[in-house]
Each structure stands twice: as structure tokens, then as C-alpha cells.
């Protein structure tokens, strides 16, 4: 297997200081990368157009190195489909709770699971260990550590995380449980960000911006690419602020916001607050880009709202426009948290005018 080219590696190392995990919210995880490599090698991982990011040099190297092991019995066991998203997400995310010990055995290091009732990673532990040993995964991972570290530095430089965190704390209130924060990534993840609390630590398992995965430096990225690339992290991070606030107003939300009206089969509609929270987290993103990326905010926000509509949140453009209008008209000193109950009641007034889009 060829190593990452010097030019490709220098896209990161030439511009950013050496990555230090101790001083960063990013947590590089060997077992999380192992889980994502395994899923990328399944028939589903190879054929689904969105689940695995397949356009990078790294993906091609993964395939070149690991394809000889494609008949390993583990891959058939974890060949999940889109309908089995809980198993897929749990397999890759639960891997974060494990590590290799001195004998190259996988051991649990923390009591964490991504989805209650799903435990696919631990159930296949013996086969996962055998796959890692047979393929010499750990050597592959060590050779690519400079690449992961370079991505981590580039990602942090592009996300403007301090400004993002400050914006959310000022607008939605500081969260006592978020004294620190963690971000976990793999270059292979194509979709399904998720926010979980891991041992009391708010942790986001995120997808990376397209421009980083394609090897472009932050300096070469456009403002539109940077703004759009912050969406994945922002809309996961702000769940830690939105969800508690929504819980405070849950009775008001239930009285003014019907999932049956606002949700067209997203999969969130069975939870009384989940649909509202998805709308709100994406709507607040619009307010964020309006402040920090004003010249491209309209274009970027509309593109993401249209994508959200394809997920089943069909009134995303309307929701975001109404939230933005109310925010622009706010009184001096008012925050999003102050507007929360007023906006919820406003949605109740809008709700009778909404209709579900026709079935295709």
C-alpha cells in the first residue's frame, strides 16, 4: 500500500502547528476509526451514496489496503442497511468506549452506548479483534496518524469554535454540564452526526467539511465553504443548549407545535420535542452565519434549509425565515432564550396555514 503522498500530507502540515490532543476538544480514537473502516468495507458501505465519504485519497487507500480482507466473516455480520440506522450508528459510535490493551485485546474503558437497546459493537467483539489482527489494522492506523492530526488542526482552524461556543452561551445561556467538550471524527463518515453525553462530557461525533476531505487548505477555502462547513458542528453543539431550553417549555411546545403538521416522516416525529429541536438547531445556525458570515449567509442558509426539508422537515425555509425576522426585531438586550416562548406561540399561529407536501 502506498503511503499518503507528501503533497497531500503537506496540505495540512505546512500550515498548522502540530496537533496536541491535550489542548484540543478533538479526541482522536483508534477504535472509532476501526469501526468506520469496517463499515466502509461492507456491501452497504460500498454502495450507499451518502453513508461513507468515498471521494478522498484516504478512502481509496483504505479500500486498497483492506479489500483483500473483504471476505472476513465480520463484514457480513455488520452489513447494515439504511433502515438499520440505529445499529449502524451504534456500531461506529459505541466503538469510542473501547480501546486496545497491552495484549491487543479490545476492552471497554467507559460505560457508554449511543442508542438504548442497541449493542452491536460489543456483540461482535471477538470478530472485530480478529479482523484487526488479521488485517494489521493497528499498523495502518499508526502510519496515518499524521494525516488524522493534520485534519484535526485544519478542522479546528476552520470551525471558529470559540466564537461558536460564545455565541451559543450568550444567546441560549451557559450550560453547567458543558465545562469542557469533545469532538470525534473519521474521514470516512458521510452522514449522521450525533451529539451524546459521554461520562458527563458533551461529545459530538461529526462529519467533516467537504473542502477538508478533498485536501483543500483553510486558506484556499472560500468564505462560503467555511460558513457551510461549520454547519455540522454547530447544529450538533447547539443541541446541548436547545434541548434543555425546549424541555423547559415543553408544555408550550406541545400546545403550539404538532409533529404531524411540521414533520413528514423524518423519524424524529415519535418524540414530542425532537422534531421541534431539529428545526430550532438548524434555525439558530442561520442566526449564527448572519452574524459571522453576512456576505454569504443567505445563500448558505437557504441551501441547508432545503437539505433539511429533504429529511422530512418540510417547512424549514419558513421556520428559519420567521425566526430570523423575530430576532432582527428583538429589543435591545434580548436573546434567543428570551424570544423562545414568544416564538413558540408564533409558530402556533402559523401552524393552521401549513399543509403537508404531497406524497411522491
CA dist list (Å): 43 to 70, 81, 88, 127, 190: 9, 9, 13, 17, 16
Backbone angles phi, psi at 235, to 5 degrees: -75, -10
pLDDT digits (tens, 9 = 90+) for 190-209: 988 888 888 888 888 989 99
Q: What is the pLDDT of residue 18?
A: 42
For position 162, what pLDDT does the model report? 85
Q: Are the beta carbons of 312 and 264 closer than 8 angstroms?
A: yes
The helix/strand/coil state of 203 is strand
End-to-end alpha carbon distance in the chain = 46
Instruction: List beta partners, residue 181.
Output: 202
Please report the pLDDT score of residue 316 as a whole number: 97
**Separation of CA 133 from chain center:** 29
Question: Which pLDDT score, from 0 to 100, does residue 10 have?
Answer: 32
- Give me the pLDDT at residue 309, please: 95
CA distance 178 to 337: 17
Pairing status of strand 201-206 against strand 181-185: parallel
Report the pLDDT value the prediction gives residue 188, as an integer from 0 to 100: 97
* Predicted pLDDT at 6: 31
Q: Write the CB contacts of 67 (distance below 8 Å, at least 6 apart in sequence).
A: 41
Give the chain's residues under pLDDT 50.
Answer: 1-18
pLDDT at residue 359 in the model: 58
Q: Are strands 201-206 and 194-198 parallel, antiparallel or unpaired?
A: antiparallel
Q: What is the pLDDT of residue 174?
A: 85
> What confidence score (pLDDT) does residue 1 get?
39
Amino acid at each position: 500500500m502506498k503511503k499518503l503522498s507528501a503533497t497531500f500530507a503537506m496540505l495540512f502540515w505546512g500550515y498548522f502547528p502540530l496537533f496536541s490532543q491535550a489542548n484540543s476538544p478533538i479526541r482522536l480514537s483508534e477504535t472509532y476509526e476501526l469501526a468506520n473502516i469496517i463499515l466502509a468495507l461492507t456491501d452497504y458501505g460500498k454502495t450507499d451514496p451518502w453513508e461513507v465519504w468515498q471521494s478522498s485519497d484516504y478512502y481509496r487507500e483504505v479500500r486498497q489496503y483492506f479489500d483483500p480482507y473483504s471476505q472476513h466473516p465480520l463484514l457480513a455480520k455488520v452489513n447494515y442497511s439504511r433502515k438499520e440506522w440505529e445499529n449502524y450508528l451504534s456500531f461506529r459510535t459505541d466503538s469510542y468506549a473501547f480501546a486496545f490493551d497491552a495484549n491487543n485485546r479490545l476492552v471497554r474503558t467507559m460505560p457508554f452506548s449511543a442508542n438504548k437497546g442497541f449493542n452491536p459493537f460489543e456483540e461482535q467483539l471477538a470478530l472485530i479483534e480478529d479482523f484487526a489482527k488479521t488485517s494489521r489494522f493497528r499498523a495502518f492506523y499508526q502510519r496515518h496518524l499524521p494525516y488524522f492530526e493534520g485534519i484535526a488542526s485544519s478542522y479546528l482552524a476552520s470551525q471558529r469554535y470559540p466564537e461558536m461556543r460564545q455565541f451559543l452561551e450568550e444567546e441560549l445561556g451557559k450550560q453547567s454540564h458543558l465545562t469542557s467538550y469533545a469532538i470525534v471524527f473519521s474521514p470516512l463518515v458521510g452522514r449522521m452526526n450525533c451529539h451524546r453525553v459521554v461520562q458527563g462530557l458533551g461529545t459530538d461525533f461529526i462529519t467533516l467539511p467537504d473542502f477538508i476531505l478533498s485536501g483543500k487548505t483553510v486558506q484556499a477555502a472560500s468564505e462560503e465553504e467555511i460558513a457551510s462547513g461549520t454547519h455540522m458542528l454547530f447544529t450538533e453543539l447547539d443541541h446541548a443548549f436547545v434541548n434543555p431550553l425546549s424541555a423547559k417549555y415543553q408544555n408550550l411546545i406541545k400546545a403550539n407545535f404538532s409533529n404531524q403538521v411540521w414533520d413528514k416522516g423524518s423519524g424524529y416525529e415519535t418524540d414530542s420535542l425532537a422534531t421541534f429541536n431539529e428545526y430550532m438547531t438548524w434555525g439558530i445556525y442561520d442566526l449564527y452565519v448572519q452574524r459571522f458570515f453576512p456576505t454569504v449567509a443567505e445563500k448558505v442558509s437557504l441551501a441547508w434549509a432545503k437539505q433539511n426539508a429533504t429529511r422530512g422537515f418540510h417547512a424549514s425555509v419558513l421556520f428559519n425565515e420567521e425566526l430570523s425576522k423575530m430576532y432582527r426585531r428583538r429589543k435591545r438586550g434580548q436573546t434567543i432564550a428570551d424570544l423562545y416562548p414568544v416564538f413558540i406561540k408564533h409558530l402556533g399561529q402559523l401552524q393552521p396555514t401549513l399543509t403537508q407536501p404531497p406524497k411522491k
